[in-house]
Homo-oligomer: A and B are copies of this chain.
């Protein structure tokens, strides 16, 4: 079956399980909280994290449908971090619509995030047991740690590759790694399979983020559905920019730094910055890095026998992440 079709079908299934779960909860919860959850959870996400959980369990030979509850937990945790991120970033929009924070207010966004956080942990504890929970909590701790590194480094223009990856690991890759790992644990994986699927997920997550950062400069707004240049507006130190700053001659480096340090200039210099990054192969080498990381994602899949549709889909997801246009 084609990957895009599987993604669409599984997303529909995940949404069903989430709606049933929220429906059960709604008997006991404040109606406003339910409204926020429905608004914040169902906005057309691709549900890649739950898909990874489900595919990982199946790759280990497990057909138990209860794995969907673990998948849903990953989506809940992801949504919880988005609700809180929007508060932290004072974000107006999320996935093309008004953010939960802007629509329902700060208190509601903090609390609804806390709710989903706790609920996701309880699902993982219930369906995945202690080992899955440890992986899952580790991802949240890493997420917070990544945010702190980002806060502390926000003004640092001398960031290196490893600073970038420390943040990406925490904010994106660890949860994607955990999504795979808890699927593996649920599926009865042995130690090596479990570590392999985690490695797959962590690397897939890193590559995903690099491509995201590339699309923010190079994407086609008609396809991505969002404007280019958001990262520059926020003076975000993404990989293409880090490479360019490392390599630029004195004059070009000074030009870039002058723009980065001035909000007005940032909003009017997108073309100039893109040209400078391209001049120093920032985009090209970020792309190469993503491709190299995808190889690291694919490698551990060799431990699983050939021919299963799950393995084919996990491999296809790697190409999908590298070549996506939105």
Contacts and interface: CB of A to CB of B under 8 A. Distances in A.
Interface string A29-52: 110110000000000000000000
A147 interface: yes
Contact of A134 (B81, B88, B126): B126
Nearest to A89: B107
Nearest to A34: B148
Nearest to A123: B137
Contact of A148 (B30, B122, B133, B138): B30
A111 B30 contact: no
A149 interface: yes
A130 B87 CA distance: 32
A129 B133 CA distance: 10
A140 B125 CA distance: 15
A119 interface: yes
Given A110-B84, A117-B118, A118-B117, A125 B137 contact: yes
Interface string A130-163: 1001100110110111011101100000000000
Interface residues of A, number: 41
Contact of A30 (B87, B88, B149): B149
Given A126-B130, A130-B129, A137-B125, A148 B118 contact: no
A32 B130 contact: no
A41 B114 CA distance: 19
Contacts of A81: 114
A106 to B, nearest CB: 7
A108 interface: yes
A141 B118 contact: yes
A42 B137 CA distance: 23
Given A110-B110, A152-B32, A119 B137 contact: yes
Contacts of A115: 140-141, 144-145
A99 B121 CA distance: 27
B130 A125 contact: yes
Given A118-B140, A122-B134, 12 more contacts: A30-B149, A33-B144, A33-B148, A84-B111, A111-B148, A112-B144, A113-B114, A117-B118, A119-B137, A121-B125, A126-B134, A129-B130
Interface of A: 28-30, 32-33, 81, 84, 87-88, 106-108, 110-115, 117-119, 121-122, 125-126, 129-130, 133-134, 137-138, 140-141, 143-145, 147-149, 151-152
